[in-house]
Amino acid sequence: MEEKPLVIITGASSGIGAATAKLFADAGHPLLLLARRVEPMEALQLPNSMCRAVDVMDVDTFRSAIDEAESAYGKADCLVNNAGVMFNADPTTQSVDEWQKMLDVNVRGLLNGIHLVLGDMVERKAGTIVNIGSIAGIKTFTKHAVYCGTKFAVHAITETIREEVCGSDVRLINIAPGMVETDLVNSSTDEEAKAGWWDYANEIGGALQPESIAQSILFAYQMPQSVCVREMVVCPTRQEP
C-alpha cells in the first residue's frame, strides 16, 4: 500500500480541527497536530500522529514542530490553517485586546503557517494549503466587525498567493464555513452577542457539525493536484445570511 503524505493541522484540539484530524487519519495520513493544549489532541489517540503544544504566533516553536514531523513522516503535503478566535461584540464597547487577539491569531498566525511550508512546496512543485476562512470573509455581520475584517483578509491572502504559486502546481484553498457548532462562539465575552448567535442557530434547526467542514476539506484536498477548489462556502441550508 502506498504511504500517504504528512498533513499538518493547526487548532487541532477541538471543533473543526479535531474532526479534520480524525478524517485524515481514517484516510491513512500521518499527522502533525498543533494547538496550545496538547492533552485533547493526545486524547484523540490517532495513529501515526505527532501532537505538539504550539501557539501559531510562536514561529520558532511552530517551525521546530514541522521539522520534527517531517523528519519522522516526510515532507508535508498539506497544511490546514485552522487555528482561529472569534469574539463577537458591539464595536463601541469591545476591547482593543480582543481586536488585537483576532488580528494576531486569524491573520498573523495563518501567515506564519504559510511562510513555514510554502517555499518548500513551491520548490517541490507539490502541496496544498487549506485556509479556514468564513462566510464572514465574504459578507459582513453585525457585532463581527473585526472578525469579519480578519476573515476578509484570509480570503484576500489565500486568493492572491494562489495566483502567485499556481504555476508551481501548489494549491491554496479557502474553506468558508457558515454557522458551525464549536467552542469558537463560546469564547465571546459579550453574552448578548453570544446568546443571539445560538438563538439564530436554534431557529434554523441547528448549526453545522464540525464533521461537515472536515469532509469539505478532505474532498478539496483529494481532488487531483491539477484541480484546485479555490473556495468552498459551506453553510446550513436554512442559514439565510
* Domain segments of the chain as ranges: 6-229
Whether the Cβ atoms of residue 49 and residue 31 lie closer than 8 Å to each other: yes
Q: What is the pLDDT of residue 185?
A: 83
Beta strand pairing call for 76-81 and 231-234 = unpaired
pLDDT along the chain (241 residues), means of 10: 90 98 98 98 98 98 98 98 96 96 98 98 98 98 96 98 98 98 85 90 96 98 98 98 92
Torsion sign over Cα 46, 49, 50, 51? negative
C-alpha to C-alpha distance for 156 and 226, rounded to whole angstroms: 22
Q: What is the pLDDT of residue 1?
A: 55
First to last CA, the chain: 45
What residues are labeled active site?
147
The reply to whether CATH 3.40.50.720 applies to domain 6-229 is: yes
